[in-house]
Amino acid sequence: MKTSWKSQYGQIFSEWRRAGGKLIWQVTVPANSTAVAYVPTKDTSSVTEGGKPVKDAEGIKAGKSENGVLALELGSGQYTFESAY
């Protein structure tokens, strides 16, 4: 599923798919903006961005994990998340 929206700061983009038991989600946050992404997952330690654990990824602050969803605070940029789903 793919969608986008033109905000006053630029294009916001989201596209996701499931493959091989994983959720793959591409997100773009425009310059001078922040966002919160809620990543569904069976295992929060499985969540990666660009192949790195989210705790090591630049521009991301991991937040709460509740009911199989990990909240991530994002700075501007392009992200590709993968999670066990």
> What is the pLDDT of the chain when averaged over all its residues?
95
Q: What is the pLDDT of residue 42?
A: 87
Pairing relationship of beta strands 52-53 and 48-49 according to DSSP bridges: antiparallel
Summarize the confidence of residues 25-41 as an average pLDDT: 96
For the chain, where are the E strands, in sequence order? Answer: 2-7, 10-19, 22-29, 35-40, 48-49, 52-53, 60-66, 69-74, 77-84
Summarize the confidence of residues 14-43 as an average pLDDT: 96
Share of the chain above pLDDT 70, in %: 100
- What's the pLDDT tens digit per position in 45-69? 999 999 999 989 999 998 899 999 9
